[in-house]
């Protein structure tokens, strides 16, 4: 099975995204890059070098539905005529571009984000949506955990690895324990658990970090020899990365707990202390990170949380009470 990485530029801070062309029957593209002129040109060049035609693509598989990974899915599907798009059912909000606006707003209010900041986040999000076409229900098929994507000479097993987003998936070639992991595994940075509604009950918050820790352990149980991430170089020593991530998460958790005063603070307050002076879109990622760590600390009984009359959650440091 020929897996060919194609590096595609993005306008995002994270830099280029890695797409993976499986040049085998049926020709399959895993992740597409954002909907920009630069991205489609880089993709076309990658296909040319691999001597594969975009019109021969039969499957477009998405590790998750962030714009840098899914942006071109619809236009490539149209160009390739019979191609089908596959994405996990839990990527609902991102996939259709409606991002469950009310649910999202409710999560931000609960996290203590001020109204003007929520409006600014919404405007930025609307801008980002221009970098991806929405996929309606009839335009994709659901990826099912533990199913196989079959090829003429082998298969990729679908492993649902929620955390970064609820519907993030990885793909494992069992013959040599190679994994394509999207943003679940990034060599140089610990991926952000992005604030999302729970896909089962959107009035609740998705427990991103707890789920992410399970996903990391699940990948570890596969003893991967090579992990292709969504950005940056491939990971050859997953064990080292796993331990490094765990240390970084524990270290961040300690930091977050220290920032929770006994008189109480919202996730927004904690995010401001954790990342002072962050601008624009990073404020959403900052509050996502704070919420994820506060949720994990709360689930481990290290801090208390209560919902105030104003709809905001207030965290209290129990050790200081």
Task: Rule CB under 5 A: say whether 230 interacts with Zn ion.
Answer: yes
CA atoms of 320 and 262, how far apart (whole Å) = 5
Q: Which stretch binds Zn ion (CB under 5 A): 20-28, 202-210, 223-231, 284-292?
A: 223-231
CA 152 to chain centroid, in Å, comes to 30
CA atoms of 113 and 107, how far apart (whole Å) = 9
- 187 or 316, CB closer to Zn ion? 187
Q: Which of 66, 94, 140, 205: binder of Zn ion (CB under 5 A)? A: 66
- The 124-163 contact track toward Zn ion, x by CB under 5 A, reads ----------------------------------------
- The 273-312 contact track toward Zn ion, x by CB under 5 A, reads ----------------------------------------
Structure tokens at 214: 């399970």
Task: For residue 53, give the H/E element and its range.
Answer: none
- What order of strands is seen across the sheet that includes strand 226-229? 148-151, 154-160, 169-173, 178-182, 226-229
Number of residues lying near Zn ion (CB under 5 A): 4
- Closest residue (Cβ) to Zn ion? 66
CB of 10 to Zn ion, least distance (A): 8
CA atoms of 69 and 12, how far apart (whole Å) = 12
> Which residues inside 68-87 make contact with Zn ion, applying CB under 5 A?
68
- 202 or 230, CB closer to Zn ion? 230
Q: Which stretch binds Zn ion (CB under 5 A): 58-66, 110-118, 233-241, 251-259?
A: 58-66
Q: How many residues does the chain have?
A: 321
CA atoms of 234 and 228, how far apart (whole Å) = 5
The CA-atom distances, in angstroms, between 80 and each of 61, 74, 115, 116, 264 are 14, 10, 43, 43, 55
CB of 194 to Zn ion, least distance (A): 7
Task: Rule CB under 5 A: say whether 183 interacts with Zn ion.
Answer: yes
CB of 239 to Zn ion, least distance (A): 23
Structure tokens at 218: 């699940």
Phi, psi torsion values for 169, nearest 5 degrees: -130, 150
CB of 82 to Zn ion, least distance (A): 27
How many Cα atoms occupy the beta-carbon half-sphere of 298 within 13 Å?
Answer: 17
- DSSP characters over 56-75: G--EEE-S---HHHHTTHHH
Q: Which stretch binds Zn ion (CB under 5 A): 23-31, 48-56, 93-101, 225-233?
A: 225-233
- 97 or 230, CB closer to Zn ion? 230
CB of 68 to Zn ion, least distance (A): 5
Task: Rule CB under 5 A: say whether 232 interacts with Zn ion.
Answer: no
Q: Which residues bind Zn ion (CB under 5 A)?
A: 66, 68, 183, 230
């Amino acid at each position: 099975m020929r897996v060919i990485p194609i590096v595609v530029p993005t306008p995002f801070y994270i830099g280029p995204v890695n797409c993976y062309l499986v040049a085998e029957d049926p020709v399959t593209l895993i992740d597409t890059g954002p909907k920009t002129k630069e991205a489609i040109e880089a993709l076309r060049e990658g296909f040319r070098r691999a001597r594969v035609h975009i019109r021969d693509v039969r499957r477009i598989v998405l590790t998750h539905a962030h714009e840098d990974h899914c942006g071109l899915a619809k236009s490539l599907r149209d160009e390739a005529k019979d191609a089908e798009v596959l994405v996990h059912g839990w990527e609902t909000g991102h996939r259709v571009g409606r991002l469950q606006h009310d649910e999202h707003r409710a999560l931000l209010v609960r996290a203590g984000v001020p109204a003007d900041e929520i409006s600014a986040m919404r405007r930025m999000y609307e801008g980002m949506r221009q970098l991806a076409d929405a996929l309606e229900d009839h335009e994709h098929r659901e990826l099912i955990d533990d199913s196989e994507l079959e090829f003429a000479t082998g298969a990729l097993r679908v492993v649902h690895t929620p955390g970064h987003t609820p519907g993030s998936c990885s793909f494992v070639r069992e013959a040599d324990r190679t994994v394509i992991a999207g943003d679940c595994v990034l060599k140089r940075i610990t991926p952000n658990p992005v604030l999302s509604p729970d896909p089962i009950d959107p009035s609740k918050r998705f427990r991103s970090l707890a789920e992410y820790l399970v996903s990391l352990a699940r990948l570890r149980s596969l003893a991967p020899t090579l992990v292709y991430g969504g950005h940056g170089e491939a990971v050859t020593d997953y064990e080292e990365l796993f331990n490094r991530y765990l240390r970084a998460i524990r270290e961040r958790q300690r930091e977050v707990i220290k920032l929770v005063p006994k008189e109480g603070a919202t996730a927004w307050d904690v995010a401001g202390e954790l990342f002072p002076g962050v601008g624009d879109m990073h404020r959403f990622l900052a509050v996502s990170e704070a919420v994820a760590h506060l949720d994990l600390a709360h689930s481990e009984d290290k801090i208390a949380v209560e919902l105030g009359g104003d709809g905001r959650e207030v965290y209290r440091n129990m050790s200081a009470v």
